[in-house]
């Protein structure tokens, strides 16, 4: 019983520090606020030149093919200060089958943080190259 009161007291203290806007958003639709019903959007190089719309908190996963033996890697160009999206993670995943030793996928995960539009640029190049051999550009609109 004491543990339940302690948790309730800590939760109340934490919520007291929240802005009224965030608290109102959560009270109106808590499942939406915590993004429990929003699917994660997934795409590939076809996103180039497109506009992707996310809700606040919703995630986008971009998968791009990468030849791991070439020395070239996909990388995200630095976003401006105060990004509307948060780059969550970037992994390289090996392909299956015959190309497993050569072909992989660069996987970029991003999450919408604040309302607005954010351009995203992904470049495929070696670390010492100034010019990318491939570029994927798209905009993320967060609502």
Terminal-to-terminal C-alpha distance of the chain = 41
Could you confirm whether domain 38-142 is CATH 2.60.40.2020? yes
68 Cβ neighbours under 8 A, 6+ residues apart = 92, 94, 101, 102, 103, 104
pLDDT for the residue 12: 45
Domain ranges for the chain? 1-34, 38-142
Q: Could you count the other beta carbons within 10 Å of the beta carbon of residue 118?
A: 21
What pLDDT, on a 0 to 100 scale, did the predictor assign at position 23? Answer: 44
pLDDT of residue 109: 85
Q: What are phi and psi of 20, to 5 degrees?
A: -65, -30
The pLDDT value recorded for residue 69 is 86
pLDDT at 90: 65
Q: Give the chain's largest Cα–Cα span.
A: 63
Give the per-residue pLDDT at 114. 84
pTM of the model: 0.66
One digit per residue, the tens of pLDDT, for the chain of length 143 reads 444 554 444 444 444 444 334 444 445 555 554 554 467 889 999 999 999 999 888 888 899 999 888 889 999 888 776 556 766 556 776 656 655 567 788 888 888 888 888 899 999 999 899 999 999 999 999 88
pLDDT of residue 11: 45
Q: Strands 59-67 and 73-76: what pairing?
A: unpaired
For residue 79, what pLDDT is reported?
76
Q: What is the pLDDT of residue 5?
A: 54
Angle ∠(31,35,39) on CA atoms, nearest 5: 115
């Amino acid at each position: 019983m004491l543990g339940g009161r302690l948790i309730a007291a800590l939760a109340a203290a934490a919520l007291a520090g929240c802005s009224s806007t965030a608290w109102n958003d959560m009270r109106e639709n808590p499942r939406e606020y915590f993004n429990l019903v929003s699917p994660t959007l997934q795409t590939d190089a076809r996103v180039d030149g497109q506009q992707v719309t996310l809700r606040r908190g919703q995630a986008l996963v971009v998968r791009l093919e990468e030849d791991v033996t070439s020395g070239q890697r996909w990388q995200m160009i630095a976003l401006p200060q105060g990004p509307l999206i948060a780059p969550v993670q970037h992994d390289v995943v090996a392909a299956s089958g015959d190309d497993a030793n050569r072909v992989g996928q660069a996987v970029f995960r991003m999450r919408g943080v604040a309302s607005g539009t954010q351009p995203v640029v992904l470049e495929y190049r070696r670390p010492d190259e100034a010019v990318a051999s491939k570029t994927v550009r798209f905009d993320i609109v967060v609502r």
